[in-house]
Structures are given as structure tokens and as C-alpha cells.
Amino acid sequence: MGLTRNEIVHILNLTDGGSVTRMLEELEQCGFIRSYYGFSKKQKDKIYQLVDLFSLFYLNFIKDRNNRDENYWTNNFGTPKHNAWQGYAFEQVCLWHIPQIMHQFGISGVTANYSSWRSTDTEMFA
């Protein structure tokens, strides 16, 4: 879902300033992250999301893997973590191909904005 600039500064314990803005701009220009505004949000609520597929795969499946189970992929097929990854990967493929999807649905001439929905209401999910 991504993080706001303030959340990134807080989590990484960074000094808030121009260097953070420059870092985020450079990561976006290189294709590692994307920025977007959540549905009906303002400029200050811009969300930054990691979209580099290798980095996402590494962070989810390689980084903290301590075992050397040679059957890891077979043993984990169909688990909640694997299923969540499949859904997320599908979402990323769709986000990378919105113009093509709109063309296939015959709505390529329609002006559209797309965004993610994000809630901070924890009671909603209780």
C-alpha cells in the first residue's frame, strides 16, 4: 500500500528536509518506487510505494530466509503468504499495464485517474 513521506521519515529516523525529497524523486525516476495520491487525498498525503518487482520478491522471500529447505517453494505453495504474494503480483502487473487494460475494455478514450484506497481506521478491520 505504501507510505507517506512523513511515515518514511519516521520509520527510517531521517532528518526531514530536501535530501529526503531528492531521494524519493530519484528512486521514482529509476522505477524503484511510484508515488500517487490516495482516493480523494491532497498533495501532502502523497503515498510512495515500492514497485520494483525484484526488490519486493527479495524482501518477501529471500532476505530473512534462514533455512536451506530445497523444497521451500513446493512446501509453501498455497500458504497464506504465497497466496497474498500472488494477489499483490497481479495487482502490480495491472498497475503497470493500465493503458492496455483500458484499451482491451474499449475505454481507452475515457479520462481516468487511478489510485489506491488506504484506511487508517483500525476498527474497520476488527
**For residue range 7-38, what is the model confidence (pLDDT) as tens digits?**
999 999 998 888 999 999 999 999 999 998 87
With both helix axes pointing from N to C terminus, report the angle between 18-29 and 5-12 in degrees, rounded to the nearest 10: 110
Which domains, ranges and CATH numbers included, belong to the chain? 3-120 (1.10.10)
Whole-prediction pTM value? 0.70
Q: Position of cell 482516493? A: 39
Q: Checking DSSP bridges between strand 33-37 and strand 46-50, what pairing results, if any?
A: antiparallel
